[in-house]
Structure 1
C-alpha cells in the first residue's frame, strides 16, 4: 500500500485545476482544503465548491501552516503562481503549478533559488502532454523504434478565446505573460520531451495581434523556431479557433524521425474520424491509424511516487526549468523585435 499523500489547492482561476486535482485523486491522494484570491469570481468559487463538496475552503496561510499537507497545487492567475509556489516551498511543501509556472525571468530565477535552498519540487502541469493519451501511445511507438531517432517536432496549439467568458486579467500582458509564455509553454515542453533535448535555444520568435484590435495588450498569434541538442522544433499558437469547430482547438503534434513520422490529432480529427486522441504513423512498412483512448496517463502515478520517494521520474526539475525558460526567452525575443 502506498504511503499517503495529502495536497491542498491555492488558486482556482484556470479550469486546468480540475484535471490536476482529479489526476492526483485518481492515484489515491487526499484533497484536504482549498483557497483562492479575492479576484476569483464568486460563480467560479461556487462551481468549484460544488465539485468537491467535502473539501473545505480555508485561508491560504492555514494550508501553508498545515504540516500534514505535502503538496500545494495551483492554477491561480498566471502572475500569482510564482509567489504561491515559493510560499509553498518555503513552508516545506512541493509545488505543482499550472502552466505557465511563472511570467518573468526574474520570477523563474527566484523559483530556482527557492528549489535549491529548500530541496522541494517545482513541477509544471503541461496538460497538452501530461493529460493526453495520444502522447502516451506516441511515446510507446517511439520507444519501439517505429520512426527511428526523433529529429524534429512541429507543434500547433490553436485555442478559442471565448471573450465573453474571460476575466479582465486574461487580456492584460503583464498578468497572463504573453502568448509564448502562456499557451506556447505546452509546445516547449513537448519539444524537449520528444527530442530528448536537455539543452536548447530560441532561434527566432514572433508574436502578433491579428484579429483583436480592440484589445491592444492582447497577443493572439505566436510562432517560434527552436534548436536543441536532441533535435529542432517549430511551434505555432493562436487564439483564432473558429466557433464552428466543435472543440476548443485542433491541437496537433508532428514528430519527424529518421525512419518515419507520427502525427497526433489530440482533440479532433477534423471532418474525419469521430472522437479524440488520434495517432497517425508512417514508417518503412506503411501507414497506420491508432485510436489512443485507453492508452493511459502515467504522469500522475509517477508524480505521486516522486513526491513520496524524492525521485524525478514523472518530470525532472531541469526539464520544468528549461521548458519555462525557453518560453520566457522566446517571449522576450519576440517582443524585442516589435
Structure 2
C-alpha cells in the first residue's frame, strides 16, 4: 500500500514537471515544481486577486497530475476553487498543500449536493471519469474532465444521452491545444487565412514513460483506455479543430507494445489515419521519449494549407532552444519563426463564460464528443502489431 502511495506521489510530481508543469504552468520555476508534492505550501501564480470570481468549482478525483493544470485554467478564467474530494489520502494531502484555502469535502455526495457549485473537475482513473461526469450532470452541474474523458463507446452513448437531457456542459481538457500557447496562436493564424484552407494535420505526441512513478491503473487498458483513446484524443481534437471537420472517420489504426512486455495490457506505440469532411489527418503517439531529451516529449504538429503550412514545436526546439511554444509559419509571403510564450491562453475564461452564459465558445459539445468518438474507435478497431 505504501509503495502504491509512493508511486502515486511520484506520478503526480513527474506529471507536474512535464505537461502540467512546464507547458501548463510556464511561470512556475523548476524549484517550485520539484517541491510541489512536499510540505511547502504553494500559492497559485494565476489567482487574479483583483477580479471577483464568476463561478464556484470543485474537484472530485485527482489520480493524474493534470488536475493541477485543470484547476489553474479555471482559476485564470474567473473560477473560485471551494472544495475537493478524493479517496486516496496521499493525493488529498498533496492537493491540500497546494490549495490551502479550499475545503476538503467528506464525500463526493457533499460536493454533488452543494447547490452553490457550478462546475466539477476530475482527473480520476480514466475509466471512472464518464460515470462521474454523468452523476455531476444529473446534479445540475457542468463537468470538466482530464483526457480521456470517456473510454468506451457505451460510456459515450450514455454521456451523450445525459448531456442532451440535462443541457449541462461536458468538457474535456485537451491540454495539447487549450494549454499550449503556440497551438492557440496557430488557431488564430489559420482563422485569419495565413495558410489558406487547411487540408491535413500531422500530429506527433511522444511521451516519457517514467516507469517507476506510474500507478498500477496506468498499465491496465480497461482503466486507462489504451494509447489511442488516451493520448491520441489530443490529436483527434486538433485534427478536427484545424481542418474544421464536423464529420470524420478513422481510416486505419494500429497499436503495439514493443518494449514493455512485463505489462501485457499496455501499449507504447499507436498511430491512426483520419478522414474528415474538410481534411485529413495522421497521428502518431508513443511512450519513447529518451532520457536525454530536456522535456517530457518533443510534441509537434504540422498544419498543411493550400497556401502554406505551420509547424508547432510544443515543448522544445531541439538543438535551437530548450523552451516550448515555438511556431514556424511558411506561406507565399514569408518564412517566419514566432515565439509564442507571451500569448494568452483563453480556454479557462471561455469555459467559465460558457458556464455563466450557456454558450459554446471554448469548444462545442459536438466537437468534444466527435474527437472522443474518433479516439475510442481508433483504439477499439486498431490492428495489434505483434512483435
Q: TM-score range by the shorter chain?
A: over 0.9
1:168-227 CA-to-partner distances (Å, cap 9, x unmatched) read 000011000000000111000000000000000000000000111111110000000000
Residues 3 and 14 from structure 1, CA distance in 2 versus in 1: closer, same or farther, beyond 3 angstroms? closer
Please give the residue correspondences for 1:250-269 in structure 2 after superposition, counting only pairs within 5 Å: 250-269=298-317
Which of 56, 68, 72 is 2:120 aligned to? 72
Report SS of the residue matched to 1:54.
Answer: coil
The CA deviation at 1:333 is: 1.1
Select between 18-27 and 225-234 the one with higher mean Cα deviation. 18-27
Which of 80, 90, 96 is 1:43 aligned to? 90
Report SS of the residue matched to 2:223.
Answer: helix
8 A contact 2:299–2:313 mirrored in 1: yes
TM-score (norm 1): 0.96
Cα RMSD of the aligned pairs, angstroms, is: 1.4
Which of 279, 291, 294 is 1:231 aligned to? 279
State the match for 2:228 in structure 1: 180
8 A contact 1:3–1:308 mirrored in 2: no
Q: Is residue 24 from structure 1 mapped to residue 74 from structure 2 by the alignment?
A: yes
The CA deviation at 1:336 is: 7.3
State the match for 1:313 in structure 2: 361
- Aligned length, in residue pairs: 335
Q: Is residue 214 from structure 1 mapped to residue 297 from structure 2 by the alignment?
A: no
TM-score (norm 2): 0.84
State the match for 1:130 in structure 2: 178
Please give the residue correspondences for 1:105-184 in structure 2 after superposition, counting only pairs within 5 Å: 105-184=153-232
Residues 229 and 2 from structure 1, CA distance in 2 versus in 1: closer, same or farther, beyond 3 angstroms? farther
Q: Distance in 2 between matches of 1:336 and 1:291?
A: 39
Q: Is residue 244 from structure 1 mapped to residue 292 from structure 2 by the alignment?
A: yes
Q: Distance in 1 between matches of 2:58 and 2:321?
A: 39
8 A contact 2:85–2:92 mirrored in 1: no
The CA deviation at 1:47 is: 1.6
8 A contact 1:151–1:231 mirrored in 2: yes
State the match for 1:281 in structure 2: 329
Q: Distance in 1 between matches of 2:64 and 2:307?
A: 40
Q: Is residue 8 from structure 1 mapped to residue 54 from structure 2 by the alignment?
A: no
State the match for 1:290 in structure 2: 338
Q: Is residue 62 from structure 1 mapped to residue 110 from structure 2 by the alignment?
A: yes
Which of 81, 93, 99 is 1:52 aligned to? 99
Q: Distance in 1 between matches of 2:334 and 2:162?
A: 50
State the match for 2:320 in structure 1: 272
State the match for 1:89 in structure 2: 137
The CA deviation at 1:147 is: 0.7
Residues 321 and 241 from structure 1, CA distance in 2 versus in 1: closer, same or farther, beyond 3 angstroms? same
Select between 138-147 and 18-27 the one with higher mean Cα deviation. 138-147
Report SS of the residue matched to 1:92.
Answer: coil
The CA deviation at 1:287 is: 1.2
Report SS of the residue matched to 1:181.
Answer: helix
Report SS of the residue matched to 2:227.
Answer: coil
8 A contact 2:58–2:121 mirrored in 1: yes
8 A contact 2:182–2:325 mirrored in 1: yes
The CA deviation at 1:2 is: 7.2
The CA deviation at 1:160 is: 0.6
Structure 2 unaligned spans of 5+: 1-50
Report SS of the residue matched to 2:104.
Answer: coil
Select between 135-144 and 73-82 the one with higher mean Cα deviation. 135-144
Q: Is residue 196 from structure 1 mapped to residue 244 from structure 2 by the alignment?
A: yes
Select between 256-265 and 46-55 the one with higher mean Cα deviation. 46-55
Stretches of 4+ aligned residues off by more than 3 angstroms? 335-338
The CA deviation at 1:54 is: 1.3
8 A contact 2:273–2:281 mirrored in 1: yes
